[in-house]
Every structure is written in structure tokens, then in C-alpha cells.
Chain A
Amino acid sequence: MKSESGRLRGAKRELWLAWYVTVVFYGMYSVVFFGLSRTQPPGRPWLDPDQTVAWFADRHWGLLIGFGVIFVLGGFSAVALALITHSIRRMSVSPVFAYSYLILYAIAAIPGFMYICVAMTAGVMRPNRAPIAAQWLYDLGFLSFVGTMGVFLIGSLIWMIAVLIDDNRVFPKWFGYLNLVNALTEVVIAPSWIFQRGVLAYNGAIGFWVNVPVFGLYTGVFIYLLRDFIQREDFGTGPLPAPADVWRRARPAVEAVGA
């Protein structure tokens, strides 16, 4: 195993840097949403207008600083997309899958973080705003962030199909099915656009307590698998060398001699 500084000087430096940026980006994202801004778990959808004014006041600096960080660094979400796009190009599938993934997730940045950043900043920077407008901003922030559905749904399905039909074994087949699980969370989140309380609301048992852990697990798994992909990358076009581990039940990279 090369040292960290060696990784950033070697032939795979573009891949390793992208991987490290991905890890740091998701770490920063978690700190901002769970720690600084306290917008995860999401606020309660049943707050009345005056209560949303109080909610903004309670998080004043956390929202402004946290979303300021996202306003500056949010564009680095593209690094993970670029690395994943490259990994899909490395598969034996049409480039259509790679480019579709890239564009779908590039678009996802707008409902995925821009809307909540704008809405929460607008909500908190004028404490004397009409309460009904504060509630409108509160809803815009949470609904757009939690209810970012289509781009993640189709993006996950595109990645799933690519993994399942790939012959180069860039990712293990089981990860294809994990993509399906992630895609399904985008289906079950749809009622959060309708219900203001209960398990289906955007802070409910399904909307938050099932979906966010699934997304966290999914993200952790693909970050680990991307590391594995970079280690095995040989800059060729055919099957990747077999992984050292045994859990993926992969076929050997070359036909066994004398089989």
C-alpha cells in the first residue's frame, strides 16, 4: 500500500485525489446538515408560521455559516460524479450510461442543495419577515431537499443496470441491487409532498429514519468500492484484475489454463 502522499504523486493521482475529495465532501456535508445548520433530522412540517420564525431564530448563525460553506464548496459534489462516471466508462457498457449518470447527478445539485441553501438563507436573514413567508421558505427548503426524487431515482437505476450487465467486474453485482434499494427510497419519499404529519411526512419514520440511513449506507459502500476500483485500475480496457477479497464471488480475470 502506497503512502497517502505517494498516491497523490503516482500514476493514479487523479483518481486518488477525486476519492479523497469525495470522502471529505460527504464528511463536510454531514457536519453542515447535522451539526452546524441542524436541518437534519428535518424540522417538523406541522409548525405554524410563528413557530417557523422561532425555528429560524434558534438556528440563526448555524444556518448562515453552514449554508455559506455549502454555497462555496457545494460544487465539489461533481468530483464524486466524475469518479463514478469514469468507473462506468471502464465497464463493458455503452457510454450512454456514464454520461446519463453524470448529467442526472449534475442536475441533482440544484434541488439537492441549492434550493435549501437559498430558502434557509432568505428565511434567516430577515427575522422580522412576515411569518407566512417564513413558513413558505421553511417548506421550500425541506421539501426540495428531502423530495429530490427523480434525478436520484433514475440515476440509481442507470447505475444499477450498468453494474448488472457489466462484464469487466468494476463493481460487484450485489452493489447493483443496493442501487435498487436506494432507488426505492426515492419512491417511498413521494408522500412527503402530501402528508404534513405521521410516518410519511418529511421528518417521519420513512422520510427520515429509513431513507437517510439507507443513503448513508449506500454512500459509505460506494466510497469503499470506489477505493477498491482505484486500487485495481490498470488503465486498460478489459476486465479489471480480480479483487483480493473473496466476498464478491467474482470469476477469475483470465480463463484458467487447462480448465
Chain B
Amino acid sequence: MGRLGARSAAAADVSTSRVGERIIYWTWVPLLVIWIASFLLFPGFIHPVSPRASAEEVAAFYRQDLSRVRYSMILFNWFGVALIPLVLLIAERMRAMAHRTPVLRYCVIGVAGGAPIVFLTSTVFWLLAAFRPDRSPDLTLLTNDLAWITFTCGVPFLVALFLFLALAIAWDDQVEPVFPRWVGRFNVAMALAVAPAGFAGLARSGMFAWDGVVSFWVKNIAFGLWVVVMAIALRPAMRHERHPIETTT
């Protein structure tokens, strides 16, 4: 502490807090690289495994590309959950918003773990399908279905997160809001982009099937775009201090 000279202990605490937040903030760059790498490494993503494939075709897929399935999903299992600190960094910034209650921040914390648990569960099913490629094709098909449905349809926590953030930003009534208003509108757009994937079970072919344009490409690109845009918007927000606002007491 002595080396800090004239700086007070309180200032040092703030500084330490900011250093920690900066460390978490800059994880978004390697994380995005790792997520894209695991996406490209998984052999069933560039040409998504079709929901119309037979049990034998699905079993053959796991036998052919066994190593890539395993490596990509171990990578995604390790780092998919690293979304949680980034979302909590946003939740922490929400303290500076001009809200009268922490309800919207609690909403964000309440869904912060949701999408990562969905990612994690889908990797478990993919790795399980790859664990014994000589298993009965019917069981491999079942496990493959569970992985794809979990991964594709499991958007409720993302939809809710994006809309909670949109509302929190819209209701941040102060001269210099924590996030600019367009970030709120962007979150509404991203919620609309990922929502149709929830209905992927309804279609075995076409744009809404789990290998279709809407349920696969639009949803996953929207999520990647959300990470980039929120990271860009977070940078100035991390320097934001809340201006005192009057209370209603």
C-alpha cells in the first residue's frame, strides 16, 4: 500500500476493481476467436448435420470425423461458459443506470448462466455421441438429436437477456446514459433474430429447420455480432459514473 503514495485506500480499491474489470473485458477477443475456431473445427457446422439424415448416416458422420467432433466440443465446453463473466460485467455496469430498483439487473443476473448451460449441455450430448461411435445407430441418432435441439432451440435465455438489456437501456433516464440508445434497439433486433430458432422442432427442412438459414446461420451470426457490438459499447460504458439522481423518498 505504501508504494501507492498519496493515493487513498479507497482509490486503490477502485483501481483494483477497474483492473479486474479490464481483464474480464479483454477476454472477449480470445473468446470470440476460440468460439469461431471451435465452430469451424466442428465438422457438422459448416454443412450442418441434417435433421433428415437417417440413423445410419448420423452414425457414419461420427465415425468419419471423430477427432474433430471431440476436439471442437472439448474446446467449446471449456470456453462456452466464459460468457458468464462478460454478461456479469454488463450487469455490473447496470448499477450506473438511472433505475430506482435493481430489478432489471437481477433479471440479467438471473439469465446470465442460462445460455452457457445450454452450450455446455449440447457439448455433453455431442461428446457422448462421439464417445462410442460403434454404438447402436438409433442411440447415436437420439443423442445427436438432443445435442442439436438443445443447441438450436435453447434460446430462451438469450431472448430474455437481450430484451432485459433493451429495456434497461431505454429506461436509463439520464443526460449521459450508460449505453447509447441504439444499443437498446440493437438488442431488440438481436432478440428477434434468435427467437425463431426456438421453433426449429417444427420443421425438418427449410429455413426454420435446425440446419436452415434462420435457425442456424441467422441465430449464430446474431449471437457473434451481439458479442462484438456489446464489447464495443461496453468500453466507454466502463468509464461511466452514475450521476446522483433524486429518490422518491
Contact = CB atoms under 8 A, between A and B. Distances in A.
Q: How big is the B interface, by class?
A: 35 or more
A89 B197 CA distance: 36
A13 B106 CA distance: 15
A235 B249 CA distance: 6
A15 interface: yes
Given A65-B202, A73-B159, A122-B142, A82 B104 contact: yes
A64 B208 CA distance: 13
A79 interface: yes
A71 B248 contact: no
B165 interface: no
A236 B112 CA distance: 28
Interface stretch (A28-36, A43-51, A109-117, A187-195): A109-117
A100 B155 CA distance: 24
Contacts of B118: 114
A68 B99 CA distance: 33
A136 B149 CA distance: 16
Interface residues of A, number: 50
Contact of A130 (B138, B153, B160): B138
A64 B199 CA distance: 7
Given A121-B149, A122-B146, A78 B103 contact: no
A81 interface: yes
Contacts of A122: 142, 145-146, 149
B113 A71 contact: no
A235 B248 contact: yes
B207 to A, nearest CB: 15
Interface of B is mostly: helix
B195 interface: yes
Most B-side CB within 10 Å, residue of A70, A73, A122 = A122
Given A14-B100, A15-B103, A72-B199, A82 B155 contact: no
B146 A118 contact: yes
B103 A86 contact: yes
Contacts of B184: none
B228 interface: no
Interface of A: 11-15, 17-18, 64-65, 67-76, 78-79, 81-83, 85-86, 89, 102, 105-107, 109-110, 114, 117-119, 121-122, 124-126, 129-130, 133, 136-137, 234-236
Given A68-B199, A71-B155, 13 more contacts: A15-B101, A71-B198, A78-B106, A82-B110, A86-B101, A86-B102, A106-B110, A106-B113, A109-B114, A110-B121, A114-B118, A125-B51, A130-B138
28 contacts: A12-B100, A13-B171, A15-B101, A65-B199, A68-B153, A70-B156, A72-B198, A73-B159, A75-B161, A76-B156, A78-B111, A82-B109, A86-B106, A89-B102, A102-B110, A106-B111, A107-B113, A109-B156, A114-B150, A118-B154, A121-B149, A121-B153, A122-B142, A129-B138, A129-B141, A137-B142, A235-B248, A236-B249
In order of increasing CB-CB distance, the 10 nearest A-B pairs are: A75-B160, A78-B110, A71-B198, A82-B106, A74-B156, A72-B198, A75-B156, A121-B201, A68-B199, A82-B107
Interface of B: 51, 99-104, 106-107, 109-114, 117-118, 121, 138-139, 141-142, 145-146, 149-150, 153-161, 164, 167, 171, 195, 197-199, 201-202, 204, 247-249
